[in-house]
Structure 1
Amino acid sequence: MRRAVLLGTGSALPARRVSNAELAETVDTSDDWIVERTGIRFRHIASPDETTGTLGCDAAKAALAAAGKRADEIDLIVLATATPDQTFPATATKIQAMLGINDCVAFDVGAVCSGFLYAIQVADSMIRGGVATRALVIGSETFSRILDWEDRATCVLFGDGAGAVVLEAQDVAEDGPGILTTKLHADGRHNELLYVDGGPSTTGTVGKVRMKGREVFRHAVTNLASVMDESLGAIGLTAADVDWVVPHQANARILDATARKLGLPAEKVVVTVDQHANTSAASVPLALDAASRDGRIKPGQIVVLEAMGGGFTWGAAVLRT
């Protein structure tokens, strides 16, 4: 059967690394307050010359190197981002140009923190349908550009960064590698719980992130556990079959609560939120790259990717490495 097989991963982080202690010098907060409520200890903040496009390009180059592929072998680029370089054109086309690719399908997907899962399903569908042979799927964000640095309830939570994967169409056996299933959801009734208070067609401004954290936490635990059960059930697997869960890195308490709800041991959950904070669409591929490069994720394993973000949107993907 034709599947989208993961060939390589890559990531990129801004040079500036900001600790909770440094943040507390300008924000009414403390290291203890942030760690206790979120598990976050550091985040990376982009400089003026580091953008969603440049970070995404660097992550893509790292993924291509890991996959052993040239940029001109890519025929599809799907970029998940809520912080594009420009209103238009798509930042994916800027990354395409930076990579030196003269012609391939390239576009952005906007589903905030779930964006990478949405982008994975789009690429997987196009590969299975024969539209694409080799794809770069990227999550890249510069959330620091849309934070209200006087709102300690939100500004301490987010960071900047990018992650990428290379997927390739391969004919494999049923028990072979590749993306086994993806499940996506959205419920726009909850817009007011996590949103940006601006936009081209409303205020004509970029706006800032606004969030009601307690309500988001409650929905996240319920929705993430549900979509992971749904995804595994669709292919006849259970939590016991999972080698690794690579979740959206929003909050350590959400990760712990979701794992408990599913009966998953904490040691099977990849956690990078302490080092990167919440990087929105970049968080899943950043964590995936970290666990791939340090040897935790090995060939033949079952890996679940999952995320929930503003909208609300949420989703999960199951793959065999």
Structure 2
Amino acid sequence: MDKINTIIKGSGSFIPAVAKLNRDFIPNRFYDAQQVVIDTPGEEIVNKFRQITGIGERRYVTDDQHTSEIAAWAAQKALEDAGTDPETIDQLIVAHNFGDVEQGSIQSGAVPSLAARVKHILGIRNPNCVAYDILFGCPGWLQGVIQADAFIRAGVAKRCLVIGAEVLSRVLDGHDRDSMIFSDGAGAMVLEAAEATAGGPGILSSAAQTYAIQELNYISTGVSNSPEDDSGIKYVKMQGRRVYEFALKHVPEAIKSCIDATGIPISQIKKIFIHQANEKLDEAIIKAMYKLYDLAPDLASVMPMNIHELGNSSVATIPTLFDMVRKGELPEHTLHPGDVIVFASVGAGMNINAVCYRM
């Protein structure tokens, strides 16, 4: 090939079966970050949560399921969708943040890597299929796509399998209101080299940033909000207001820089697959990005969402959402050859990234 582009060959996802509804959190006793009890009635807390985040329910894995397993299941679907022989995969990249956490355990398992575990589950024998993990917060899966694209364009790899999988239900503090945001899930994509043609499919541009000075611990791990918990167990923690302000300040510019690098006008962007973090935040980010062009978006048309039923599954939100749209599971959104779409994410690090792609 004279010029190489990276195309999406197939996609797959795994949606856990256990639905955790907002009302299930009403009996919880919540405390703030200073371990002071929140006296607001539980029903009022969950109703306000729904208004802010848009989340009505989320999905959890069953007690016997693990991150590496659901990653492999999503990967298998992507391979089948692509019609790809697993033995021809050159790079197997798994994005996650907490490894395999056993039900009832306080320890994360990440040795061997989750990617190696996925390769084992898939039964891939080819030693030249290099399997490794990537830790990049919620934008991890998209960073894996950016990395795979770099390998493909460099001629190092011809075919990559990029997976995002997370079981956050096992690292949540039930006394922290933010625990209601998070969920479990897995999504995968097969990317491969193709001859670049004018107007043809492929990755058009990408952008990535890391802010790690005062922003470092906006999303981190910490002890329970409950003053009665002296276990020392660390749970995922988020400074919600700081994350919101950070994302609204920096993500619109990052998405714009990615779009502008393509030379394609914003009016031709058909869909924006943004990390399903919080409905109000996602809407605010897209509105702010369009405002940089002195335009207002038609959110219902350009921004598909699955957060209402699936919650925030971190690295899995974008590949899961894309797979659902691509396979007609969100009938109000469709994709067609030639459509230009954007993937964008923000999360712990604090990291931001975006990718423009032509279908």
- Gapped runs of 5+ residues in structure 2? 31-41, 101-108, 224-231, 291-295
C-alpha separation in 1, matches of 2:311 and 2:182: 5
| Match of residue 236 from structure 1 | 263
Alpha-carbon shift at residue 206 of structure 1 (Å): 6.7
Matches within 5 A, 1:1-321: 1-26=3-28, 29-30=42-43, 31-85=46-100, 86-102=109-125, 103=127, 104-152=129-177, 154-189=178-213, 190-197=215-222, 207-261=234-288, 262=290, 263-266=296-299, 267-294=301-328, 296-321=334-359
SS at structure 1 position matched to 2:119: helix
Would you identify which runs of 4 or more consecutive aligned residues in structure 1 move more than 3 Å? 25-31
SS at structure 2 position matched to 1:284: helix
C-alpha separation in 2, matches of 1:78 and 1:112: 15
Greater Rg by CA: 2
The letter for the 2-side match of 1:89 is P
Figure out how many residues of one structure are paired with residues of the other and give that number: 314
C-alpha separation in 2, matches of 1:81 and 1:206: 20
RMSD over aligned Cα atoms: 1.5
SS at structure 1 position matched to 2:198: coil
C-alpha separation in 2, matches of 1:24 and 1:174: 55
The letter for the 1-side match of 2:297 is L
Alpha-carbon shift at residue 230 of structure 1 (Å): 0.3
The letter for the 1-side match of 2:244 is F
Given that 2:199 and 2:338 are in contact with CA atoms closer than 8 Å, whether structure 1 keeps it comes out as: no
SS at structure 1 position matched to 2:139: helix
SS at structure 2 position matched to 1:271: coil
Given that 1:39 and 1:252 are in contact with CA atoms closer than 8 Å, whether structure 2 keeps it comes out as: yes
C-alpha separation in 2, matches of 1:17 and 1:61: 23
Structure with the bigger percentage of helix: 1
C-alpha separation in 1, matches of 2:309 and 2:155: 38
Given that 2:60 and 2:169 are in contact with CA atoms closer than 8 Å, whether structure 1 keeps it comes out as: yes
> Structure 1 vs Structure 2: percent identity of aligned residues?
30
With 45-54 and 277-286 compared, the bigger mean Cα shift is at 45-54
C-alpha separation in 2, matches of 1:77 and 1:188: 27
TM-score for both structures, normalised by structure 2 = 0.84
- Gapped runs of 5+ residues in structure 1? 199-204
SS at structure 2 position matched to 1:246: strand
Given that 1:3 and 1:178 are in contact with CA atoms closer than 8 Å, whether structure 2 keeps it comes out as: yes
Could you report, residue by residue, the CA deviation over 1:56-75 in whole angstroms, capped at 9, with x for unpaired residues?
01110111121122222212
C-alpha separation in 2, matches of 1:74 and 1:192: 36
SS at structure 1 position matched to 2:157: coil
